[in-house]
Amino acid sequence: MQVNFNSVQVDKTPPQSYSFGVDAKTSPGLWITRLHWEFGDGAFLDVPYCCHNEVSEVRNHAYSQPGSYTVVVVAYDNAGNFGDAFVTVNWVQPVPEYQTPGLPLLMSVFAVLIVATFAKNKRSVRRPV
């Protein structure tokens, strides 16, 4: 029995969600009876199948908290054979690339601009001799 992840895609907006693609194949003359998914956060899913010796499936799952999650899928066939595959996804709490300036920072910038402008104007004013 062969089981492989063929794709893992991520949506980076919270809640973090992933699409997991998997292929499973058993021997000729046998067929896959089910896929058992475990998403690493306590969630699981059993998907029944009948009469195919090869299946391809995509499942979506969203995680509510940042962390490292190991996703396992196990395929079973009608002869009692099984195979599994796993992948680990890491959702790290995103850090903003740029901080939004707050009011105190903006007021400081305006104060510097006003002082610089006043100093420039004061130097350019000519006094009569």
Residues 115 and 50: their CA atoms lie apart, in Å, by 79
Q: How does residue 97 score in pLDDT terms, banded at 50, 70 and 90? A: low
* pLDDT in the model for residue 128: 57
Cis omega (within 30 of 0) for bond into 48? no
pLDDT tens figures, 58-88: 999 999 888 999 999 999 999 999 999 999 9
Query: Over 80: is that where the pLDDT of 3 sits?
Result: yes
Closest CA to 64 of 4, 127, 16: 16
Let me know if domain 2-91 sits in CATH 2.60.40.10. Answer: yes
Looking at residue 88, its pLDDT comes to 93
Q: Average pLDDT in the 117-125 region?
A: 54
Nearest to 59 by CA among 37, 91, 76: 37
